[in-house]
Amino acid sequence: MTPLSFEWQWNIDYGIFMGFLYLALGVVACGLLVALVKTLMHMHGEDKGEAEPAPIPSRSKYSEY
């Protein structure tokens, strides 16, 4: 239901309800937009190459156990 629909009534309860609805939709949309922008920035950022992970120290002393 929007202010342009025929069932809209200009009452305070409709305004509050629709205000919170649009606020929640706006927060979700902004969160998705931020996630999309950060993902695109990460994808198109400089490729630093794959670094070799550090060896697990306990594996080098496995024969001692």
Q: Cα 21 from chain centroid? A: 19
Compute the distance between CA of residue 65 and CA of residue 62 in angstroms, rounded to an integer: 6
Range of the domain at 33: 11-43
* Residue 6, in any domain of the structure: no
Pick left, alpha or beta for residue 53 (phi over 0 → left; psi -120 to 50 → alpha; otherwise beta).
beta
Q: What is the pLDDT of residue 59?
A: 65
* Residue 65, in any domain of the structure: no
Whole-structure pTM value:
0.56
pLDDT of 26 over the 70 cut:
yes
* Residue 36, in any domain of the structure: yes
CB distance 31 to 37 below 8 Å: no
Compute the distance between CA of residue 59 and CA of residue 30 in angstroms, rounded to an integer: 46
pLDDT of 15 over the 60 cut:
yes
- The closest of 19, 27, 23 to 3, measured between CA atoms, is 19
* Residue 49, in any domain of the structure: no
